[in-house]
């Protein structure tokens, strides 16, 4: 079964590995990891993980993660069956990429489940490929609209495939 998790862990060396080792030990196949290295006020970072795991291993995994000091913010069966890949271009890092992702993730009906970033120059614009997944086609269109609003607000270029949801 495919499971989506949002984890909170201390921003310290080795804590990402401490979250991933129990997943592997439980028979989980990691599909996606999005690790934003921007600590919150408590010094924790959010990690989004999508895994394939036998259903009977979920409870032992939850116990192992807790034992390792990893807080599970959200865990659920993969319900985000509709997807679209988009590209953002602009000063993504310096305008808080975590905020951009969270605006989609906080909807409850859509999430950014994969991201790749190219940053050719430290002070120059960067580009990111984002995979946005949602519970249905209308929800996916709403998530893309949120990204359009963010792009306008932060002066990004948003590229959505022709014939896409938007």
Residue 166 pLDDT more than 60?
Answer: no
Residue 12 pLDDT more than 70?
Answer: yes
**Residue 128 burial (C-beta neighbours within 10 Å; 0-12, 13-18, 19+):** buried
Q: Tell me the average pLDDT across 31-48.
A: 81
- Segment (H or E) for 160: none
d(CA 29, CA 160): 29
CATH 3.30.70.260 in the chain is located at: 2-77, 82-159
Query: Mean pLDDT over all residues of the chain?
Result: 87
Q: Is the CATH number 3.40.50.1970 carried by domain 2-77?
A: no
Residue 16 pLDDT more than 60?
Answer: yes
pLDDT at 89: 94
Q: Tell me the average pLDDT across 100-116.
A: 90
- Express each pLDDT in 63-75 by its tens digit: 999 988 889 988 8
Residue 87 pLDDT more than 80?
Answer: yes
Question: For residues 92, 98, 100 and 103, what is the CA-based torsion angle, rounded to 10 degrees?
Answer: 180
Q: Which residues of 5-43 are buried (b: 16+ CB within 10 A; e: fewer)?
A: bbbbbbeeeebbebbbebbeebebeeebbbbbeeeeeee
Dihedral class, residue 14 (left if φ above 0, else alpha if ψ from -120 to 50, else beta): left
d(CA 61, CA 88): 35
Q: Which of 2-6, 7-11, 57-61 has the lowest mean pLDDT?
A: 2-6
CATH classification for the domain delimited by 82-159, as one of 3.90.226.10, 3.30.70.260, 3.90.930.12, 3.40.50.720: 3.30.70.260
């Amino acid at each position: 079964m495919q499971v989506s998790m949002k984890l909170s862990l201390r921003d310290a060396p080795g804590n990402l590995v401490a979250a991933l080792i129990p997943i592997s030990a439980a028979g989980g196949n990691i599909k996606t990891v999005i690790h934003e290295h921007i600590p919150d006020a408590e010094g924790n970072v959010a990690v989004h993980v999508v895994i394939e795991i036998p259903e009977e291993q979920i409870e032992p995994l939850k116990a192992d993660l807790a034992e390792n000091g990893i807080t599970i913010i959200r865990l659920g069966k993969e319900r985000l069956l509709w997807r679209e890949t988009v590209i953002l271009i602009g000063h993504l890092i310096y305008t808080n990429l975590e905020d951009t992702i969270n605006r989609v993730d906080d909807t409850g009906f859509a999430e950014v489940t994969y991201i790749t970033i190219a940053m050719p120059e430290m002070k120059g614009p960067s580009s990111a490929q984002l995979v946005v997944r949602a519970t249905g086609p209308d929800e996916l269109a709403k998530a893309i609209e949120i990204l359009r609003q963010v792009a306008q607000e932060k002066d990004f270029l948003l590229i959505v495939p022709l014939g896409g949801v938007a």
